[in-house]
Chain A
Amino acid sequence: MRLEAISQPSVSRRIFPPMLAIVASFVIAALLAQIAGGNPFAVFGLIFKGALGSQFALLETLNRATPLIFTGLAVAVAFRAKLWNIGAEAQLYAGAVITVVLGTGALAWPAPVLLPTLAIGAALAGAIVLLIPAMLKTRFGVDEVVTTLLFNFIFLLFVSYLLEGPLKDPMGMGWPKSARLIPEARLPRIVEGLRLHWGFALALICAVAIWVIDRKTTLGFEMRAVGQNPEAARFAGIPVTKVILKTALLSGGLAALGGFSEVAGLKGSLTLDLSPGFGYTGIVVAMLALLNPLGVVAAALFVAIIFVGADSMSRAIGVPTYLADIMLASALLLMVLAILFTKFRVRRD
Chain B
Amino acid sequence: MTALRMGAERGDPVLRMQGITKRFGSVTANEDISFSLHKGEVIALLGENGAGKTTLMNILFGQYLADEGMVEAFGKPLPAGAPRAALDAGVGMVHQHFTLADNLTVWENIALGTQGLGAFSLRPARVKDKIRDLSARFHLSVDPDARVGALTVGERQRVEILKALYREAKVLILDEPTAVLTPQETDALFATLREAISMGLSIVFISHKLHEVMAIAHRVLVLRHGRLVAERGIGDTSAEELASIMVGGEVRAPDVPAMPAGPALLTLSKASAGVLQDVNLSLNAGQITGIAGVSGNGQGALSDLISGVLSLQSGEMQIAGQTPAQWDARTAIAHGVGRIPEDRHKTGTIADFDLTENAILETYQTDFARAGWMDWTKARRHTEHLIQTYDVRCPGPDTRIRLLSGGNMQKLILGRVLEENPQIIVANQPVRGLDIGAVNYVHARLAAARESGSAILLISEDLDEIMKLSDKIHVISEGRLSPAFQRGALTVAELGKWMAGQGFAHAS
Contacts and interface: CB of A to CB of B under 8 A. Distances in A.
A232 B347 contact: yes
A237 B352 CA distance: 19
A224 B308 CA distance: 22
Interface residues of A, number: 23
Interface in A217-247: 217-221, 224-225, 228-229, 231-239
Contacts of A233: 350, 361
Nearest to B343: A231
Contacts of B333: 237
Given A8-B403, A218-B365, A221-B357, A235 B347 contact: yes
SS class of chain B's interface: helix, strand, loop or mixed? Answer: mixed
Interface string A201-227: 000000000000001111111001100
Contacts of B373: 216-218
A236 B351 contact: no
Contacts of A236: 329, 361-362
Nearest to B307: A235
B403 A228 contact: no
A232 B348 contact: yes
Contacts of A224: 353
Contacts of B372: 217-219
B199 interface: no
A168 B73 CA distance: 78
Nearest to B369: A218
A216 B350 CA distance: 19
A38 B296 CA distance: 69
B259 interface: no
**Most chain A CB atoms below 10 A, which of B333, B365, B403:** B365
Contact of A237 (B329, B341, B348): B329
Interface in A315-349: 349
B252 interface: no
A232 B309 CA distance: 11
B76 interface: no
A7 interface: yes
Contacts of B346: 229, 231-232
Contacts of B329: 234-237
Given A216-B374, A235-B307, A235-B309, A221 B364 contact: yes
A234 B403 contact: no
Interface in B330-359: 330, 332-333, 339, 341, 346-353, 357
Contacts of B364: 218, 221
B328 interface: yes
A232 to B, nearest CB: 5
A231 B347 contact: yes
Contacts of B341: 235
Nearest to A217: B372
A215 B375 CA distance: 11
B233 to A, nearest CB: 42
Given A218-B374, A229-B351, A232-B349, A237 B357 contact: no
A237 B350 contact: no
Contacts of B361: 225, 232-233, 236, 238
A228 B362 contact: no
A234 B332 CA distance: 13
Nearest to A349: B81
Nearest to B309: A235
A109 to B, nearest CB: 31
A219 B373 CA distance: 9
A53 B220 CA distance: 80
Interface string A248-275: 0000000000000000000000000000
A228 B350 contact: yes
Nearest to A235: B347
A224 to B, nearest CB: 8
A218 B365 CA distance: 7
B328 A237 contact: yes
Interface in B383-428: 402-403
Nearest to A8: B403
Contacts of A229: 346, 349-351
Interface string B284-321: 00000000000000000000000111000000000000
Contacts of A7: 402-403
Contacts of A228: 350-353
Contacts of A235: 307, 309, 329, 339, 341, 347-348
Contacts of B351: 228-229
B467 to A, nearest CB: 29
A70 B376 CA distance: 28
A235 B328 CA distance: 9
A218 B376 CA distance: 11
Nearest to B348: A232
A233 B352 CA distance: 13
A4 to B, nearest CB: 13
B75 to A, nearest CB: 27
Nearest to B331: A237
A217 B373 CA distance: 4
Contacts of A239: 330
A224 B350 CA distance: 10
A236 B346 CA distance: 12
Contacts of B308: 237
Contacts of B352: 228
Interface string B254-271: 000000000000000000
Contacts of A220: 374
Contacts of B339: 235
Contacts of B330: 237, 239
Interface in B110-145: none
B309 A234 contact: yes
A217 B376 CA distance: 10
Nearest to B332: A237
Nearest to A219: B372
A198 B341 CA distance: 51
Interface string A135-178: 00000000000000000000000000000000000000000000
A81 to B, nearest CB: 13
A72 to B, nearest CB: 22
A349 B351 CA distance: 29
A71 to B, nearest CB: 26
Contacts of A225: 350, 353, 357, 361
B374 A217 contact: yes
A120 B307 CA distance: 41
**Most chain B CB atoms below 10 A, which of A7, A218, A220, A234:** A218
A180 B80 CA distance: 74
Contacts of A217: 369, 372-374
Nearest to B361: A236
A308 to B, nearest CB: 37
B157 to A, nearest CB: 25
A349 B65 CA distance: 13
19 contacts: A7-B402, A218-B369, A218-B373, A220-B374, A221-B374, A225-B350, A225-B353, A225-B361, A228-B353, A229-B351, A231-B347, A232-B346, A232-B348, A232-B361, A235-B347, A237-B308, A237-B329, A238-B361, A239-B330
Given A224-B353, A229-B351, 18 more contacts: A7-B402, A8-B403, A215-B374, A218-B372, A218-B373, A225-B353, A225-B361, A231-B346, A231-B347, A232-B346, A232-B349, A233-B350, A234-B309, A234-B329, A235-B339, A235-B347, A237-B330, A237-B362
Interface of A: 7-8, 215-221, 224-225, 228-229, 231-239, 349
By Cβ-Cβ distance, the 5 closest A-B pairs, closest first, are: A237-B329, A237-B330, A236-B361, A229-B350, A236-B362
